[in-house]
Structure 1
Amino acid sequence: MFYWVMKRIIVGPILNLLFRPWVKGLDNIPSSGPAVIVSNHLSFSDSIFLPIVVPRPVVFLAKSEYFTGKGLKGRLTALFFRLSNQLPMDRSGGAASSSSLTAGMDILNDGGILGIYPEGTRSPDGRLYRGKTGVAKLVLATGVPVIPVAMIGTDKVQPIGRRIPNIRRVGIIIGEPLDFTRYEGLEDDRFVQRSVTDEIMYELMRLSGQEYVDAYASTVKERLAAEKAAGRKTPKPGADSRRAAVRISQDASGPAPGTVTEVGRAPSADAAARADDGKDAGPEAG
């Protein structure tokens, strides 16, 4: 009830009036049945604008820190996220993350729509980063279609660290559903999980026109935080992965989905990537 009131009566009309979001491909959202919506993640407001334009309720996996805050503010934040159709996602990996994904699987088994940010956290610089394989595990285990969504301009509306949004128009591009049922029975194969994740990230890159960086956004954020704490001059986020970046315009022709080009990745990065693949994907808004 709270979700419906906020979407239809309070938040929805206000956002539509102020930000005038434009949408392409809304007919790609199935009218019934389970599906996973995967989106790039530019801003905290992604989780607000996207559910507003999708006709059906969308349940997001949100970082668990939003549900464990202390004091009055922490309790109110947790209450808001629970009432607005969001579930806690533990990003520490292992059994904790598996339990979080099980909650997402329950939503799909009940015929609902689940929203996930494969990057696991907001982009620190507006580029698209390597996806984590948690989304592939869910999709392969349930056989549901994947709906790729590109958020456009939300990082300009609410950049990281800004609480009061800028009033400007945002866009949402909804791509055609992706079907991974050809991998039925291979949901535990890590190579298949990575292949599915890369195909999803390729489609997000194609829809959004973002530059792709073959590194995890969380790793880049940790490095930037360490450099800031050490008082060193901070280079542009992802600068050490510049050679691994790919940029594709929306009207450019390229390889088929699932064949993401990786250029110049150092051998040391491979080891780190394989280690991080064991961690499940989960959205973060901070």
Structure 2
Amino acid sequence: MFYRLLKYVLIGPFLRLLFRPRIEGLEHIPDEGAAIIAGNHLSFSDHFLMPVVLKRRITFLAKQEYFTGPGLKGRLTAAFFRSAGQIPVDRSGKEAGKAAIREGLGVLAKGELLGIYPEGTRSHDGRLYKGKVGVAVMALTAGVPVIPCAMVGTFEIQPPGKVLPRIMRVTIRFGEPLDFSRFAGMENEKAVVRAVTDEIMYEILELSGQEYVDDYAAVVKARGSAEG
């Protein structure tokens, strides 16, 4: 109920008015049944703008830090994400990826939409980075289609570190569903899940027009911090 209240009363109309999102390819989202929506991740605003334009509810795997922040701000942020039905995922340690996959498969098993950012973190410079293979593992295990999505303009309105977004128009593009049924039962084959992930990232790239970097965003960020 709180999700619907946020979408249709508290936040949705406000976001539509401010950012006037152009929506392309909405017909590619299935009216029912499980599916993964895999998108680029440019801004904190992505968490709100994509759900606003979808007719169906979508559940995101959100980083655990959104649920464990200190002080009043941290408690309010955690309450917001929990009330909106988002799932915290610990991204540290060897078991982090497995935990995220388990949670994602639970959402798909209910016949719902799962939102995921294959890059694993926000882009710090607006480029598109190499995708992690969890999206492929979930798609093959659950046997569901993957709809690529591109957020265009959200980096400009709220790049990492910017608290208040700039008011300007954004575009949200959905591509045709990707069917990977030809790889059924091969979710444990490393070469297969890498190839599937790369195909998903290529489709996101085609939709977004970003520059592509064949390296993980977190690795590039860490390298830049070390050099700095």
Q: Is the 8 A contact 2:124 2:159 kept in 1?
A: no
Does the residue aligned with 1:150 lie in a helix, a strand or coil? strand
CA RMSD of aligned residues (A): 1.1
**Inter-partner Cα distance in structure 1 for 2:77 and 2:24:** 32
> Residue 164 of structure 2 aligns to which amino acid in structure 1?
I
Question: Hey, what does 2:103 align to over in structure 1?
Answer: 103
The superposition leaves residues 165-216 of structure 1 with CA deviations (integer Å, 9 ceiling, x where unpaired) of: 1000000010000000100111100110100000000101111111111111
What TM-score, normalized by structure 1, do the two folds share?
0.78
CA distance in 2, matches of 1:89, 1:106: 13
How far residue 53 of structure 1 moved from its aligned partner, in angstroms, is 0.2
Instruction: Determine if the alignment matches structure 1 residue 39 to structure 2 residue 39.
Output: yes
Within 2, Cα distance between the matches of 1:70 and 1:161? 17
**Which residue in the other structure is 2:180 paired with?**
180
C-alpha separation in 2, matches of 1:96 and 1:22: 35
Deviates more, 1:179-188 or 1:68-77: 68-77
- Contact 1:61–1:116 (8 Å) recurs in 2: yes
Q: Aligned residue for 1:89?
A: 89
Aligned to 1:214: 214
In the alignment, the residues of structure 2 paired with residue 162 and residue 72 of structure 1 have an alpha-carbon distance, to the nearest angstrom, of: 20
1:124-163 equivalence runs, <5 A = 124-163=124-163
The offset of 1:101, in angstroms, is 1.6
The 1-side partners of 2:85 and 2:56 are apart by 12
Secondary structure (helix, strand or coil) at the match of 1:77 reads helix
Cα distance in structure 2, aligned partners of 1:171 and 1:144 = 26
User: What residue identity is the alignment partner of 2:225?
Assistant: A
Contact 1:35 1:113 in 2 (8 A): yes
Does 2:96 align with 1:112? Answer: no
Following TM superposition, where does structure 1 have runs of at least 4 consecutive aligned residues deviating by more than 6 angstroms? Answer: none
Residue aligning to 1:202:
202
CA distance in 2, matches of 1:105, 1:93: 20
Q: Look up the equivalent residue of 2:157 and give its one-letter code.
A: V
Query: Is the Cα–Cα contact under 8 Å of residues 89 and 101 in structure 1 kept in the other structure?
Result: no
For residue 21 of structure 1, what is the amino acid of its counterpart?
P
Equivalent in the alignment of 2:55: 55
Query: In 1, Cα distance between the equivalents of 2:154 and 2:73?
Result: 25
Other-structure match for 1:259: none
- Taking structure 2 as the reference length, the TM-score comes to 0.97
Q: 1:70: how far off?
A: 3.1
State the AA in 1 paired with 2:5. V
Quote the offset at 1:153 in angstroms: 0.2
Question: Cα 1:195–1:92, aligned 2, differ >3 Å: closer, same or farther?
Answer: same
Deviation at 1:100, TM superposition (A): 2.4
Structure 2 stretches lacking a partner, 5+ long: none
Percent identity reads 58
Local SS of the residue matching 1:147 = strand
Residue in structure 1 matched with residue 80 of structure 2 by the alignment? 80
Cα distance in 2 for partners of 1:89, 1:97 equals 9
Shift of 1:223: 1.4
Q: Which amino acid aligns with 1:171?
A: T
Any idea what SS the aligned residue of 2:149 has?
strand
Deviation at 1:93, TM superposition (A): 4.6
1:7 counterpart residue number: 7
Tell me the distance in 1 between the aligned counterparts of 2:106 and 2:52. Answer: 23
SS state at 2:44 partner = coil
Cα distance in 2, alignment partners of residues 173 and 152 from structure 1 = 8
- What is the letter of the counterpart of residue 75 of structure 2? R
Alpha-carbon contact 1:135-1:197 (below 8 Å) kept: yes
Equivalent residue number for residue 284 of structure 1: none
